[in-house]
């Protein structure tokens, strides 16, 4: 074999070895990638579990915690026997209809309290949260029924429930007198009478409402975004609902800073306590003292454990869109309250508004807990039942508003409002593209370029070890040189030759 044939031979062997090592390197990279994905999966599971507080429970299962399904069934049948066999019948159609509907709701709730699936909340008792799950189902069914009626028939239905309803509400604006300081020294209310006249029971309910919202959302900045955005919505919708019109200091001083701010602050203090609290539970009969038993009964109405929420909206596009969706649904639920009152003619102090609020608070807390677990826990593959219901309720309420008074909702916005929302939405869209599209692709391109450079450097290191041939002289990377023996083969111990022999001996 000539020297050129030998060079070609060793060149082919070297290229084959480089290709083989490249393939092995890619296989190792894929193995490392799968291992990295597995580690990320385990890391996510640990991250979610690390946000849950440790719980110490002696495992006591008392009579209080049992299902009592047969007891509830017997109680319901006894009630029905009393109505059907003992109670005197009344020829009052309205009374019988109302009581019959109430009995249907009661029977459904009793079934749900004993048979429905448990959610993430267990205190004071799982049946308590099952009850509110059933009430939210009943409320959604009532909304669906109203959706298939007309506005007039729905108002008549409201008057059927309460004779005080079914009457048009007066349009009321809160922006007639917006002077924060009145220079008149003879006014009986003082110089700041306009400010003090705004203080009523709704200020306290505002503060308490935001306290519970903070406990539900468990995030300082998300709460502030919702608080400020709702005031912006009130500014934007003054032309549709006059009661959105408020003085500037009513918006930003009383609502945002005082009511919302204090509610958020108190909620944050409570969250800090719940995050560091030790959750240790013992059965009531294992506590020797009466004071300890009384304290344990009171603690039954506190959380069994606590999960710290970290929404991290800018971590990826999915979380960003999810948090935007949560904020949007929150704001839509707030707007539904005012529009439903105006369209169905329900005055603000009416008990129906308070019942709706009482259903929303516990069910909303469960819904956000399920939503957060669905977003953060890789083992959670199904959207929660209460989250599903709350989303359906909010959307159904909005559809009722659209159907019953479409002209009100579609009333043209003032030019400055349209311009402001257009700029705001455009900036939000541009930021989303930059943060999660352009920024992502730029980072991915840099990572690809870096990986290519690393791969090229590794390949060049292999190629450098290949001998450089001349017609009769062979020079190696390590500085050794061997004279070719005419048309004989070289006796040098080439690195590729050694590696090739070793792999051939191993059967590779």
For 40-86, how does the pLDDT look when each residue is reduced to its tens digit (9 = 90+)?
555 555 566 777 777 877 777 666 777 789 999 999 999 999 999 88
Would the pLDDT of 9 be above 70?
no
- What pLDDT is attached to residue 144? 97
Tokens 């990279």 sit at which residue?
29
What are the pLDDT digits (tens) for 138-182?
A: 999 999 999 999 999 999 999 888 888 988 888 777 777 778 777
Residue 475, SS3 per DSSP: strand
- What pLDDT is attached to residue 507? 44
Per-residue pLDDT band at 16 (split at 50, 70, 90): very low
What is the average pLDDT across 485-497?
A: 44
Nearest to 6 by CA among 507, 499, 494, 505: 494
Nearest to 172 by CA among 382, 367, 433, 349: 349
Would the pLDDT of 275 be above 50?
yes
Would the pLDDT of 249 be above 50?
yes
- What pLDDT is attached to residue 210? 94
- What pLDDT is attached to residue 273? 92
Two tokens at 113?
Answer: 């309290």
Cα–Cα–Cα angle for 398, 401, 402, rounded to 5 degrees: 90
CA atoms of 60 and 54, how far apart (whole Å): 18
Q: How far apart are the first and last CA of the chain?
A: 26
Residue 468, SS3 per DSSP: strand
Two tokens at 6?
Answer: 């030998």
Asked if 189 and 222 count as a contact pair (C-beta separation under 8 A), the reply is no
- What pLDDT is attached to residue 455? 58
What is the average pLDDT across 389-395?
A: 97
CA atoms of 155 and 166, how far apart (whole Å): 5
118 vs 477 pLDDT, higher one = 118
- What pLDDT is attached to residue 373? 93
What is the average pLDDT across 465-470?
A: 48
What are the pLDDT digits (tens) for 406-463?
A: 999 999 999 999 999 999 999 999 999 998 888 767 766 666 666 565 556 666 565 5
Kindly report the backbone phi and psi dihedral angles of residue 179, in degrees, each rounded to the nearest multiple of 5, phi listed first. Answer: -75, 120
User: Highest-confidence range of 72-86, 197-211, 478-492, by mean pLDDT?
Assistant: 72-86
Render the burial of 349-380: b for 16+ CB within 10 Å, e for the rest: ebebeeebeebbebbbbbbbbbbbbebbbeee
Please list, in sequence order, all residues whose beta carbon lies within 8 angstroms of the beta carbon of residue 367, skipping any fewer than 6 positions away. Answer: 384, 386, 387, 389, 390, 391
Q: What is the three-state SS of 323-361?
A: HHHHHHHHHHHHHHHHHHHHHHCCCCCCHHHHHHHHHHH
> Which CA distances in Å does 389 have to 214, 317, 383, 384, 393?
21, 25, 10, 9, 6
Per-residue pLDDT band at 39 (split at 50, 70, 90): low
CA atoms of 114 and 69, how far apart (whole Å): 5
Of the listed ranges 48-62, 335-349, 475-489, the least confidently predicted one is: 475-489
Of the listed ranges 94-98, 194-198, 269-273, the least confidently predicted one is: 194-198
Query: Up-side HSE of residue 474: CA atoms within 13 Å toward CB?
Result: 24
Render the burial of 124-157: b for 16+ CB within 10 Å, e for the rest: eebbebbbbbbbbbbbbeebeebeeeeeeebbeb
Asked if 24 and 250 count as a contact pair (C-beta separation under 8 A), the reply is no
CA atoms of 229 and 148, how far apart (whole Å): 32
CA atoms of 111 and 488, how far apart (whole Å): 95
Would the pLDDT of 393 be above 50?
yes
Query: Up-side HSE of residue 12: CA atoms within 13 Å toward CB?
Result: 5
Tokens 């083969």 sit at which residue?
489
> Which CA distances in Å does 215 have to 65, 205, 220, 362, 388?
26, 15, 10, 11, 20
Two tokens at 483?
Answer: 């004279």
Two tokens at 209?
Answer: 């409402």
Of the listed ranges 220-224, 296-300, 313-317, 460-464, the least confidently predicted one is: 460-464
- Residue 245 belongs to what H/E stretch? none
Please list, in sequence order, all residues whose beta carbon lies within 8 angstroms of the beta carbon of residue 184, skipping any fewer than 6 positions away. Answer: 191
Asked if 353 and 202 count as a contact pair (C-beta separation under 8 A), the reply is no
CA atoms of 332 and 303, how far apart (whole Å): 29
CA atoms of 230 and 251, how far apart (whole Å): 10
Nearest to 78 by CA among 107, 100, 116, 112: 107
- What pLDDT is attached to residue 41? 54
Nearest to 413 by CA among 398, 427, 424: 424
Two tokens at 193?
Answer: 């009478």
What is the average pLDDT across 268-291?
A: 87
Please list, in sequence order, all residues whose beta carbon lies within 8 angstroms of the beta carbon of residue 139, skipping any fewer than 6 positions away. Answer: 356, 359, 393
> Which CA distances in Å does 131 have to 110, 347, 354, 475?
8, 27, 17, 86
- Averaged pLDDT score across all residues of the chain: 80
What are the pLDDT digits (tens) for 302-315?
A: 898 899 999 999 99
Would the pLDDT of 505 be above 60?
no
């Amino acid at each position: 074999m000539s020297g050129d044939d030998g060079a070609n031979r060793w060149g082919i062997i070297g290229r084959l070895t480089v290709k083989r090592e490249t393939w092995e390197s890619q296989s190792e990279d894929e193995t490392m990638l799968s291992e990295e994905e597995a580690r990320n999966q385990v890391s996510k599971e640990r991250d979610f579990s690390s946000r849950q507080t440790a719980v110490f429970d002696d495992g006591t299962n008392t009579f209080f915690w049992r299902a009592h399904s047969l007891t509830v069934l017997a109680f319901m049948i006894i009630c029905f026997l009393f109505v059907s066999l003992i109670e005197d019948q009344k020829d009052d159609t309205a009374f019988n209809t109302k009581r019959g509907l109430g009995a249907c709701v009661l029977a459904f709730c009793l079934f749900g309290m004993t048979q429905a699936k448990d959610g993430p909340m267990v205190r004071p008792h799982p049946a308590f949260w099952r009850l509110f799950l059933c009430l939210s189902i009943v409320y959604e069914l009532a909304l669906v029924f109203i959706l298939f009626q007309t506005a007039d028939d729905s108002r008549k239905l409201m008057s059927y429930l309460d004779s005080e309803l079914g009457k048009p509400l007066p349009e009321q604006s809160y922006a007639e007198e917006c002077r924060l300081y009145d220079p008149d020294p003879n006014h009986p209310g003082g110089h700041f009478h306009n400010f003090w006249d705004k203080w009523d029971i709704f200020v306290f309910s505002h503060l308490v409402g935001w306290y519970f919202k903070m406990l539900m959302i468990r995030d300082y900045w998300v709460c502030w975004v919702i608080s400020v955005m709702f005031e912006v919505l009130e500014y934007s919708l003054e032309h549709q609902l006059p009661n959105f019109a408020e003085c500037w200091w009513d918006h930003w001083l009383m609502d945002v800073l005082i009511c919302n701010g204090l509610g958020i602050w108190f909620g944050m203090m409570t969250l800090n306590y719940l995050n560091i609290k030790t959750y240790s539970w013992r059965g009531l009969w294992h506590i020797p003292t009466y004071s300890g038993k009384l304290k344990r009964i009171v603690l039954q109405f506190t959380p069994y454990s606590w999960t710290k929420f970290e929404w991290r909206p800018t971590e990826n596009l999915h979380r960003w869109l999810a948090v935007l969706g949560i904020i949007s649904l929150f704001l839509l639920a707030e707007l539904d309250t005012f529009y439903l009152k105006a369209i169905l003619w329900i005055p603000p102090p009416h008990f129906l508004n308070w019942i709706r609020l009482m259903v929303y608070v516990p069910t909303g807390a469960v819904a956000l807990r399920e939503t957060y677990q669905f977003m953060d826990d890789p083992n959670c593959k199904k959207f929660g039942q209460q989250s599903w219901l709350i989303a359906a309720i909010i959307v159904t309420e909005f559809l009722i508003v659209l159907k019953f008074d479409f002209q009100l909702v579609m009333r043209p916005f003032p030019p400055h409002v349209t311009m402001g929302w257009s700029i705001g939405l455009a900036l939000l869209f541009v930021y989303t593209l930059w943060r999660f599209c352009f920024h992502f692709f730029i980072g991915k391109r840099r990572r690809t370029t870096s990986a290519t450079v690393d791969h090229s450097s590794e390949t060049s290191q292999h190629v450098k070890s290949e001998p450089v041939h001349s017609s009769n002289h062979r020079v190696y990377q390590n500085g050794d040189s061997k004279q070719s023996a005419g048309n004989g083969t070289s006796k040098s111990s080439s690195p590729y030759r050694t590696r090739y022999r070793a792999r051939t001996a191993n059967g590779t």
